[in-house]
Structure 1
Amino acid sequence: MQKYLTLADGSQWIGTAIGARTLEVAGQIVFNTGMSGYQETLTDPSYLNQLITFTYPLIGNYGIDPTVSQATTIGAQAIIVHELADFSDHQTSRQSLASFLTLNHVAGIAGIDTRDLTTHIRTTGSQMAIISNTPVSDFDAKLATLPLKQLLPQPLPLNQVHTGKTHIVVLDFGEKSAITAELIKRGCAVTVLPATTSLKVISAYHPDGILLSNGPGDPTAHAQVLPTIRQLAKHYPLAGICLGHQLIALAYGAQTYQLPFGHHSLNHPVQSCVDGTVMMTAQNHDYAIDPASLTTTPLQVTYTELNDGSVEGLRLPHTAVMSVQFHPEAHPGPQEAGQFFDKFLTMIQQEAVANA
């Protein structure tokens, strides 16, 4: 069955239907250059309503492992690949990517020159796109008929019993399960609460620290939580990842902007502003912090991205507040950025000693 990929600028690619074969969808088109991690990418809530183009030519060859999904549902609208593997060969595989897409009612298109498509996106910028069963003659009219998904709250994890030495409350803006797993691995008890939870309710859990999670979309859409973030910073050690990083910046008066085609990959070099060291990071975001806007805030930049100079880390001097734009849980991806969690826990311990 033929499938049509049409971008808002009128460009079009024709391929073959995969996944939910007859489903027509719309969303922001992005590209991911990772050679692995297609399952984690599809189940990452930060990809909500996006059409994900994988630049690696063959996708699906190691199947699906049910233990590595980052959420219980797939937020992405569709997958775009050059070739979908018709086999899966890995000891942890329990089903093929094709069946995973079908069972989760996710559309897809194969047979696309994904490198040509990626070059086009890099040149023209990320934009809305439609995957349809027939050629699209009126983009806006067709777009209006295709609903977007809503971010659904994830079921609370089973690790709600406070048995760890350090209790972390994670405010869930679209959290990846790997973030919780990294904290538990370090002996933390973790409580995941809705993003809009008030300071009073959070305080009732007696946390040692607060972590603002990653999540999809424009950070300015969360203006209602900025006062709470400022309140939390006065009472608890506070950290943010990706969207959480952007929200901390907004809470202290900085501004954000949309990147031309976003950062969606496992190989972004990030440099420390403290000692100059460089590490490779996994990233997934379409918005970044305007560095010029930071000059009127008390925030200091701690990391920068070496490809485009974007702000990758912040700290609030003389307080226990820190954040990173990259994904330190990196599942899959480079592991060196995991030091973020160690630094966060050290910051919590130092704050506890200072206040003892």
Structure 2
Amino acid sequence: MQARLLLEDGTLFTGQSFGAETQTCGEVVFNTGITGYQEVLSDPSYCGQIVTMTFPLIGNYGISRDDFESISPSIHGFVVRRYEPVPSNWRAQYSLGDLLKQYNIPGITDIDTRMLTRILRQHGTMKGLLTTGNERIEELQERLGLSTLMTDQVARTSTKSVFSSPGFGPRIVLVDFGAKSGILRELTQRGCDVVVVPHNTTADEIRRLAPDGIQLSNGPGDPKDVPYAVQMIKELLGEFPIFGICLGHQLFALACGADTTKLKFGHRGGNHPVKELATNRCYITSQNHGYTVLEDSINSTELSVTHINNNDKTIEGLKHNKYPAFSVQYHPEAAPGPFDSSYLFDEFLEMIREHQKNNPQKPRQAVLAATLKGELQYAQK
């Protein structure tokens, strides 16, 4: 079956369908990863986007349920140069095309993805419409022109209720803005007692959980679309150790008075070089974001830059100069990508231990007791 991809600048790509027979609109972006297409598909940070894979052969190792980064994919469409319908992999449970059909996601193959990527690099990411229908091009252009990009992706991808992954170590409250499973996996592998909470959880609600530390997850969209999260971070900054990843990094920066802006075509792939300023060491990182923290907006008395991108010198890491809090723009949990930066989770736990050592008067039980006492007094009034 024929499939077509129409960009808002009028460029039309015609290829073959290998996913669901449907029509969708979204922001067209590209990912430079050679492998990891399943993790890309299931990354909640791609909510509302039509993803183009620059590597020419996709689908050759199929799909395994164990490799999902969320319960179900949130992307709006998938674009590849060549789709392999018959995977060769002992772990494969079904094909990529079957996955797209299962979740009603259209896919298009047999188009010039190099040309598409060059257009996006030159003009920036743009709206696109992917369809398997036979509508006239004028109808598609009108529909695309009337469409708008999402602003509620965080609410769509975040958990709707609190749940826990019990452990014997420090209690970490993971604020889910569209979290990948890899973050929870890294914390539980270190024995943490993880409590996952929705994106709109308030500071007081987090205090009631008596955490030892707070993890701000990745997520889709513009950080300025979730101002309530910025307010929550402001209230908790200095009270608990905080570690932000990707969107969590941008929200942390906004909470500290910095500003963010949209990149021309973003960073998406598993091979982005990042330099750690303290050691001059270069790490190869997994990235997926369309926004960045503006360097000129950073208050040097409050924040310090810890990492920069070796390609375009954008900010990749921050730490607070007074409070136990830091963040990175990339994904230390990888999936897909290298695990060079997984040590950051160990640094987070070490920060928690140091904070507890310096604040022995506030163990978890004391914080919880004080919180409950305050709620009881409020109720009695």
TM above 0.5: yes
Which consecutive residues of structure 1, in runs of 5 or more, have no partner in the other structure?
none
Show the counterpart of 1:137.
138
- Aligned ranges for residues 206-285 of structure 1 at < 5 Å? 206-285=210-289
Per-residue CA shift, 1:118-144, capped at 9, x if unaligned? Answer: 111111111101112245326663123
In the superposition, relative to structure 1, how do residues 292 and 154 fare at CA in structure 2: closer, same or farther (>3 Å)?
A: same
State which structure, 1 or 2, has the greater radius of gyration over its C-alpha atoms. 2
Task: Tell me the distance in 2 between the aligned counterparts of 1:273 and 1:338.
Answer: 17
Please tell me the residue identity of whatever aligns with 1:126: T
Q: Deviations over 1:207-257 (max 9, x none)?
A: 100011000000111112222101111210011000000001111111111
Answer whether contact 1:253 1:297 (CA < 8 A) is retained: no
**Structure 1 position 160 matched with structure 2 position 159:** no
Instruction: Work out the CA distance in 2 between the residues paired with 1:235 and 1:295.
Output: 20
Whether the aligned pair in 2 keeps the contact of 1:254 and 1:296 (CA below 8 Å) is: no
Aligned to 2:36: 37
Distance in 1 of aligned mates of 2:148 and 2:325 = 41
Change over 3 Å in CA distance of 1:112–1:212 after alignment to 2: same
**Per the alignment, in what secondary structure is the counterpart of residue 254 of structure 2?**
helix
Question: Structure 1 residue 180 and structure 2 residue 188: aligned?
Answer: no
Matches within 5 A, 1:46-57: 46-57=45-56
Paired AA for residue 123 in structure 2: T
Aligned position for 2:363:
none
2:19 touches 2:105 (CA, 8 Å); kept in 1? yes
Cα distance in 2, alignment partners of residues 295 and 179 from structure 1: 29
- Does 1:325 pair with 2:324? no
For residues 248 and 226 of structure 1, the distance between their equivalents in structure 2, rounded to whole angstroms, comes to 7
Q: 1:245 to 1:146 in 2, by over 3 A?
A: closer
Q: Quick check: 2:257–2:299 contact (8 Å CA) kept in 1?
A: no
Residue aligning to 1:81? 80
Partner of 1:6: 6
In structure 2, distance between residues paired with 1:154 and 1:51:
23
Count residues in correspondence. Answer: 354
AA aligned opposite 1:33: T
Q: Would you say the 8 A contact 1:24–1:146 is kept in 2? A: no
Per the alignment, in what secondary structure is the counterpart of residue 67 of structure 1? helix
What is the rounded CA distance, in whole Å, between the counterparts of 2:358 and 2:34 in structure 1?
45
Gap change, CA 1:152 and 1:166, over 3 Å in 2: same
- The one-letter code sitting in structure 2 at the alignment partner of 1:193 is V
The secondary structure found in structure 2 opposite 1:129 is strand
SS in 1 for 2:68: coil
Distance 1:82 1:179, change over 3 A: same
Q: 1:335 to 1:99 in 2, by over 3 A?
A: same
Q: Distance in 1 between matches of 2:113 and 2:126?
A: 16
Task: Provide TM-score, normalisation by structure 2.
Answer: 0.89
Is this contact kept in 2: 1:168–1:189, CA < 8 A? yes
In 2, Cα distance between equivalents of 1:117 and 1:289? 27
Contact 2:262 2:290 survives alignment (8 Å): yes
Q: Does 2:339 match 1:335?
A: yes
Offset from partner CA, 1:243-281 (integer Å, 9 cap, x none): 000001111111111100010000000001111111000
Using the aligned pairs only, state the percent identity: 39
Distance 1:159 1:91, change over 3 A: farther
In the alignment, what sits opposite 2:119? Answer: 120
CA distance in 1: counterparts of 2:331 and 2:339, whole angstroms: 10
Given that residues 50 and 78 in structure 2 are in contact (C-alpha distance below 8 angstroms), is that contact kept between their aligned partners in structure 1? Answer: yes
Task: Tell me which residue corresponds to 1:19.
Answer: 19
Q: Does the CA contact (< 8 Å) of 1:328 and 1:337 recur in 2?
A: yes
Structure 2: any 5+ residue segments left out of the alignment? 361-381
Which whole-Å CA distance do the structure 2 matches of 1:83 and 1:102 have between them? 17
Displaced runs of 4+ in structure 1, greater than 4 A?
145-150, 155-159
On the 8 A contact 2:259/2:293 being kept in 1, the answer is yes
Measure how far apart 1:81 and its partner are.
0.5
Q: TM-score, normalised by structure 1?
A: 0.95
Aligned to 2:373: none
Letter paired with 1:253: G
